[in-house]
């Protein structure tokens, strides 16, 4: 496994970067939906994974996000390889609105792939910081579709979607929990966290 180091403090890692405009976010969302639809139609017999960091706040892409995505890519490839699965298409998207990894996977159904991604989210120390969305021609496969418990909020035990929708917690509180998770997992370090 690779270790990752950011040459900045952990606090700076969460606040550095430029916030995208609402227009840019909405434009990217529309472009992303269109691109995913195109891929799903082209690779209709395969499942697709779209991976991204759940980054609260206005800054959606910076060195921290890109580092976390590199680590997620490594974990994904190990998981897929361990299960004898092949990525037949891969695209990195790196914009001010965020960093995403889109992969088309051969050798597994969408439901089986979603279960594999849920296992990764729950077994990997940083898994809770990511969305590993799985799509097929029938659309996105959710935890609810598989009768798997909803994801919990980083701060409390409520479903994360409820807290996100209601903005129950401050960005600072969410960042604080993310920092604890990153430091506890240990493979991503910062100038002020190495000895």
Instruction: Determine phi and psi for 44, rounding to 5 degrees.
Output: -65, -15
- Tell me: pLDDT of 28 over 70: yes
User: Tokens 């921290």 correspond to what residue?
Assistant: 64
Confidence of residue 149 (pLDDT cuts 50, 70, 90): confident
Q: Within a 10 A sphere around the Cβ of 94, how many other Cβ atoms?
A: 13
Confidence of residue 194 (pLDDT cuts 50, 70, 90): low
Nearest-angstrom CA–CA distance, 71 and 89: 19
181: which residues sit within 8 A by CB, 6+ positions away? 125, 126, 128, 129, 154
Token pair in block for residue 178: 């993310």
Q: Which residues partner with 36 through β-bridges?
A: none
What average pLDDT does this structure show over 14-32?
A: 94
Confidence of residue 18 (pLDDT cuts 50, 70, 90): confident
Looking from the CA of 136 toward its CB, the CA atoms found within 13 Å total 14
Confidence of residue 114 (pLDDT cuts 50, 70, 90): very high
Question: Of 49-58, 91-100, 157-166, 170-179, which range is least confident?
Answer: 157-166
pTM over 0.85: yes
- pLDDT tens column, 167-189: 999 999 999 999 999 999 999 99
Q: What is the DSSP letter of 136?
A: E
CATH numbers and ranges of domains, the chain = 4-149 (3.30.70)
Rounded percentage of the chain residues whose pLDDT exceeds 90: 93
Q: What was the pLDDT predicted at 192? A: 92
Q: What was the pLDDT predicted at 12? A: 95
Q: What was the pLDDT predicted at 195? A: 52
Give the residue from 80, 66, 54, 52 showing the smallest Cα distance to 16: 66
Q: What was the pLDDT predicted at 193? A: 85
User: Tokens 């270790």 correspond to what residue?
Assistant: 3
- Tell me: pLDDT of 108 over 80: yes
66 CB-contact burial (10 Å; exposed 0-12 / middle 13-18 / buried 19+) = middle
């Amino acid at each position: 496994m690779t270790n990752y180091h950011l040459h900045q403090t952990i606090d700076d890692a969460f606040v550095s970067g430029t916030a995208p405009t609402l227009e840019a976010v909405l434009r990217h969302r529309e472009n992303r939906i269109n691109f995913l639809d195109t891929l799903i139609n082209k690779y209709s017999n395969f499942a697709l994974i779209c991976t991204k960091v759940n980054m609260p706040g206005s800054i959606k892409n910076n060195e921290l996000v890109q580092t976390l995505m590199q680590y997620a890519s490594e974990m994904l490839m190990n998981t897929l390889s361990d299960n004898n699965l092949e990525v037949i298409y891969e695209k990195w998207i790196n914009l001010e609105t965020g960093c995403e990894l889109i992969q088309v996977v051969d050798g597994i159904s969408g439901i089986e792939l979603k279960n594999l991604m849920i296992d990764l989210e729950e077994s990997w120390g940083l898994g809770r910081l990511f969305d590993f969305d799985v799509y097929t021609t029938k659309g996105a496969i959710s935890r609810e579709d598989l009768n798997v418990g909803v994801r919990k909020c980083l701060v409390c035990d409520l479903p994360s979607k409820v807290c996100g929708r209601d903005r129950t917690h401050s960005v600072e509180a969410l960042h604080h929990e993310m920092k604890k998770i990153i430091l506890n997992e240990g493979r991503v370090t910062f100038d002020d966290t190495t000895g």
